[in-house]
Amino acid sequence: MKNMDEILAMAQNVQNELEKAQASLDTIEVEGVAGGGLVKVKASAKGRIMNIAIDDSLMQLSEKQMLEDLLAAAFNDARTKADAVSGAEMSKMTSGLALPPGFKLPF
């Protein structure tokens, strides 16, 4: 087994790489779409909402419920895409680390 200094150095390295990966996730953009493109939500891979675009045809009181449903669908689509990108980026970061099976990051 490695000595304590090596283990602590490895843990510090993992923490530094994790911080870099988390920072880079906020610069990656994904777009959630609903209603065939009538509603679009741009978000960072970290989940921060950056922009919402709503087609003018939905700006009628009679379309309020549909607009609300499409907004929720677009948010969920963006979140799903952000989670996928985040998982892929974290996998890249941890691929070179000798982590025990089943060990998940972040801690």
pLDDT tens digit string along 5-32? 887 887 788 888 778 877 888 888 999 9
The predicted model scores a pTM of 0.62
Q: Are 76 and 41 in contact (CB under 8 A)?
A: no
Domains along the sequence of the chain with CATH: 4-94 (3.30.1310.10)
Does the pLDDT of residue 105 top 80, yes or no?
Answer: no
- Report the SS3 class of residue 76: helix
Q: Are 30 and 40 in contact (CB under 8 A)?
A: no
C-alpha–C-alpha distance, residues 50 and 24, integer Å: 15
